[in-house]
Amino acid sequence: MANMELVQKLRNETGAGIMDIKQALVEANDDEKMALELLRKRGQKIAAKKQAERVAKSGLVEAYIHAGGRIGSMILLACETDFVAKNEEFRNLAKEIAMQVAAMKPEYVNREDVPSDVVEKEKEIYKEQLKAEGKPEAMWDNISEGKLEKYYEQVCLLDQVYIKDDSKKVKDLVNEMTAKLGEKLEVKQMVVFGI
């Protein structure tokens, strides 16, 4: 029988259902960390399905101002219903993402937004670097793909490491909240202002 305090703790952290938590604890032999990981993976699968199937037509604009008014950002975080748009956890997520945008100044919301000519130019640069370093040509594609992943982590909001928890990416925050609130959530737009 699962410890109810542990079940409640995991429920607060993940927003997962009690039966799902109990099942994860059984599978993890009551190992809290392992159960949390199982719940997060399942939550991401649920979130991915919800993201693909639904339309985010409601939401809110959130702004964040920092450094004595010298840096600011605005984001449009969309959801499916006004009910969720008014939810405190949804609003907190919007604030966290706006803060991330101000701090890290991403150029794109996600990797699909990066123009193909920019991606090709990056790959060319990587190959020139590898050639100059004397790396074998057979390795260039694999190394370039790894460098491209690092590039996405710098310029794409959803691929960036979350500034308050380096074990998560911004897309993990969105996926966790999607699983918790049961609606599709999507960062539609963002902008950074600065002097």
Q: Mind listing the pLDDT tens digit for each residue in 134-185?
A: 888 888 888 888 899 999 999 999 999 999 999 999 999 999 998 888 888 9
The position carrying tokens 């590898």 is 130
Q: How far apart are CA 21 and CA 7, in angstroms?
A: 6
User: What amino acid occupies position 132?
Assistant: A
Sheet bearing 71-79, strands edge to edge: 58-66, 71-79, 186-194
Task: Give domain limits for the chain.
Answer: 4-53, 58-109+156-194, 115-153
pLDDT digits (tens, 9 = 90+) for 82-115: 899 999 999 999 999 999 999 999 999 999 999 9
Q: Which CATH class is domain 115-153?
A: mainly alpha
Give Cα 126 to chain centroid, integer Å. Answer: 26
What beta strand segments (E) does the chain contain? 58-66, 71-79, 186-194
Query: 65 with 71: CB under 8 angstroms?
Result: yes
User: Structure pTM?
Assistant: 0.70
d(CA 76, CA 62): 7
CB 65 within 8 A of CB 82: no
Return the number of other C-beta atoms located less than 10 Å from residue 169's C-beta.
18
Predicted local distance difference test score (pLDDT) of residue 25: 84
Q: Which CATH class is domain 58-109+156-194?
A: alpha beta
Angle between the N-to-C axes of helices 32-53 and 4-14, in degrees from 0 to 180, rounded to the nearest 10: 40
Q: What is the dihedral sign for C-alpha 9, 16, 177, 157?
A: positive
Was domain 4-53 assigned CATH 1.10.8.10?
A: yes
Percent of the chain beyond pLDDT 90? 45
